Structure 1
Amino acid sequence: MTDTDTSPSKAYAFLLVPGFSTLGFACALDSLSLANHHPSGRKFYRWRLMSETGAPVEAYNGVKVAVDSALAPLERGETLIVCAGENAGQSSSKTILSWLRREARRGGDIGALSSGTYILALAGLIGGKRVTTHWEYKIALAEMLPDVIMEDTIFSADGRIFTSAGGAASMDMMLHRLRDDYGPDLATWVADQMVYTVPRLHSDAQRASLQSRPEVRNPKLLMAMRVMENNIEDPLTPDEIADVVGLSTRQLERLFAKYLSISPKRHYLRIRLEKGRNLLRQTDLSVTDVCVACGFKSLSHFSKSYRANYGIPPGLEASDGKVLWSDRSVKV
């Protein structure tokens, strides 16, 4: 271990935001807790839990977690981790965002689990940074903050900012931090206690690759799907997609029918509508702006397609009380 046995414990503060993911939070906290059960008897870490008011916080699954205090100043050298999940924007009050900006100026490390990255963005803390978040929030962040470098990885670190996709990825990120803090022996011991024999690297992707899905192992089909995902704002025609992948339009249609039981046009539409749904739920973009971002030439076509796919018009998908993106940036 890199530190001496007499060095003080490293301090963490977890900010629990309503709707947070219990899995991501538990994986992060237990990594610290297990380290303190090392046979050496040393207490490597200490931590405290916070909420905006000091009241228990309800997670996305209905579980309520008691905290130690309301928002309070961080100690010198204390690391903050923002734990979020569903409805991160609605749960990010002006009080929370102001507190985050103020604490960021103290100079400590600031982390985020899952959509906690979204909250750091609302507070103006990640401009120009390499970050990651749960894949459902990636589109919204990339759309609203073009200067942020979005990484499709399980966790990321850039200077004082470290972020995780949440879920089990929180464990990978914390094991990485344990290794940096105290060396590989402690991190390996904790991983063994978790029965987690092969911790992942930060560069690992969040979702199973297309190649791993048995229904889409055809290389031409994979290529066509990637072309669609990379051309949403300015969608290509079926003829253009077929030309890119080296097939005739009829061959492309047969390929999608055989492996996915859907037409290329319908699959493309679903991808564009999924992006639209994420943007409506997670940003303050207007329905018209989302329509354009998803490559629809008319609002009526977008609304009709959206209603047919999701059962409600896009205007009702956008939730009330969203927090506007901050134009105030805090250098971290």
Structure 2
Amino acid sequence: MLKHIDHTYDARKVLPDHVKPVQLDNKRHFSQLLRETNRAFLPDSGTTATIKRVGFILPEHFSMMAFTAAVDALVTANLVHSEPLFNFSTYGIKANKVRSDLGIEISTDGALGEIKPAFMGGFDLLIVCGGYRCSMAENSVLSSVLKSAAKSETIFAGIWNGAIPLAYAGLMDDVRCALHPDNHAFMRERFQSVAVTDNTLEIGSKVVTSAGPASALEMMLQLIDRLQGRDIMRAIREILSCDQVAEQGSNKLNGNTDNPAMPQNLQDIIQLMRSNIEDPLGIDDLVACIGISRRQIERLFQNHLDTSPGRYYLELRITHARRLLIQSNASVTDVALACGFVTSSHFSNCFKDYFGFSPTHVRERYRNSLS
């Protein structure tokens, strides 16, 4: 039976006797994995992000599933950052309303036939979202728009068979291309200079293509990494890829620490920590449960997570507290106790050190954002 221990964080409990605790300033920073989990609630870094413009070109019968996967990544990017990172617009080819493959008609921000082709060159990213029943014939208006935009620094992307309009515009010559298998024969016959591959995703410097809805999300994550940085991409992946089915067919939800590359001992320790949030375990308890030395545990955390066991445990508890605060009506005192803190004042101080605001303020700010 595990002994009851003091719930307050003490660096001395997770460091060997000969190592002095690191003296921290009043502001603490989450280690990488948990920083991604909490990014949407962290204070402004002080740097102003450049908003990237994204345009979606939607032919008749475009894949709604692929389109929403791509848009969801952009919307989530704006949610995990204190300031907007992307704005996006949608365009039909001939009309302001476009019918999707589901028979659902959506209103767009404009029709390409009513827009000067040079206008589209102002986008950082232009995406042609195809679909199973999209026409394979060239559309002169679309080709003109794409050719004009190609004179700028715009990045182009094709989803499903969205690469075919890019090929008509001459943007796919000698470029590796991913597209839906049903369209491989047509692309190879009609555009012999295009390097069609069997991959679900192809990332080029100027053109990015994906073969369908499932790969559309990954394509957007790669593009967001390029346009706004890896930290933003990882934060989005943490939110949107939690139910991604692994190759071995596992149907277990993925967490940000569910990395099969991590040593099994480290995975076991983290799982122990997750399972003991209200009554945190001491380092000696972890040693007894896992069967390896204190020093080995410290090395695992330092080598793979770039932090100490105690610091990581505290971050898990603070993250758990943040979730309870915004998802329940429990008092700050009850949240503190549920996360292993002896007093609400100590909890509030730790919480503010990480998030820059008190627990009550974070809760109110989150609820105000929903209204």
TM-score between the two structures when normalised by the length of structure 2: 0.50
CA distance in 1, matches of 2:120, 2:84: 20
- Contact in 2 for aligned 1:126/1:161 (Cα 8 Å): yes
Q: Which runs of 5+ in 2 are unaligned?
A: 1-35, 37-44, 250-371
State the match for 1:286 in structure 2.
none
- Contact in 2 for aligned 1:54/1:68 (Cα 8 Å): no
Q: Does residue 1:11 correspond to 2:11, yes or no?
A: no
State the match for 1:81 in structure 2.
127
Q: Secondary structure of 1:36's partner?
A: helix
CA distance in 2, matches of 1:89, 1:53: 13
Q: Does residue 1:42 correspond to 2:100, yes or no?
A: no
Give CA deviations for 1:54-92 in whole Å, capped at 9, x if unaligned: 421001120111101122312535210011113433564
CA distance in 2, matches of 1:120, 1:9: 25
Q: Does residue 1:119 correspond to 2:119, yes or no?
A: no
CA distance in 2, matches of 1:58, 1:101: 25
- Contact in 2 for aligned 1:191/1:197 (Cα 8 Å): no
- Contact in 1 for aligned 2:61/2:100 (Cα 8 Å): yes
One-letter identity of the residue aligned with 2:52: K
CA distance in 2, matches of 1:120, 1:81: 10
Residue 166 of structure 1, CA deviation = 1.9
Name the CA shift for 1:17/1:179 in 2 (closer, same or farther; >3 Å).
same
- Contact in 2 for aligned 1:56/1:65 (Cα 8 Å): yes
After the TM superposition, which residues 96-135 of structure 1 pair with which residues of structure 2 at under 5 Å, given as runs? 96-135=142-181
Name the CA shift for 1:181/1:96 in 2 (closer, same or farther; >3 Å).
closer
After the TM superposition, which residues 80-229 of structure 1 pair with which residues of structure 2 at under 5 Å, given as runs? 80-89=126-135, 92-196=138-242
Q: Secondary structure of 2:55's partner?
A: strand
State the match for 2:66 in structure 1.
24
Name the CA shift for 1:93/1:4 in 2 (closer, same or farther; >3 Å).
farther
Q: Which has the larger radius of gyration?
A: 2
Q: Which runs of 5+ in 1 are unaligned?
A: 209-332
CA distance in 2, matches of 1:176, 1:186: 11
Give CA deviations for 1:287-327 in whole Å, capped at 9, x if unaligned: xxxxxxxxxxxxxxxxxxxxxxxxxxxxxxxxxxxxxxxxx
One-letter identity of the residue aligned with 1:152: D
State the match for 1:68 in structure 2.
109
- Contact in 1 for aligned 2:77/2:86 (Cα 8 Å): yes
CA distance in 1, matches of 2:207, 2:224: 16
Of 190-199 and 166-175, more deviation after overlay is shown by 190-199
State the match for 1:228 in structure 2.
none
- Contact in 2 for aligned 1:19/1:58 (Cα 8 Å): yes
CA distance in 1, matches of 2:138, 2:46: 39
Residue 183 of structure 1, CA deviation = 3.0
Q: Secondary structure of 2:79's partner?
A: coil
After the TM superposition, which residues 263-274 of structure 1 pair with which residues of structure 2 at under 5 Å, given as runs? none
One-letter identity of the residue aligned with 1:44: L
CA distance in 2, matches of 1:92, 1:57: 18
CA distance in 2, matches of 1:94, 1:77: 20
Residue 99 of structure 1, CA deviation = 1.9
- Contact in 1 for aligned 2:59/2:129 (Cα 8 Å): yes
Residue 192 of structure 1, CA deviation = 2.3
Q: Secondary structure of 1:169's partner?
A: helix
- Contact in 1 for aligned 2:99/2:106 (Cα 8 Å): yes
One-letter identity of the residue aligned with 2:50: P
Q: Secondary structure of 2:213's partner?
A: coil
Name the CA shift for 1:135/1:5 in 2 (closer, same or farther; >3 Å).
farther
Of 161-170 and 122-131, more deviation after overlay is shown by 122-131
State the match for 1:51 in structure 2.
92
CA distance in 1, matches of 2:152, 2:141: 17
Residue 158 of structure 1, CA deviation = 2.0
CA distance in 2, matches of 1:140, 1:196: 36
One-letter identity of the residue aligned with 1:150: V
Aligned residues: 200
CA distance in 1, matches of 2:163, 2:95: 22
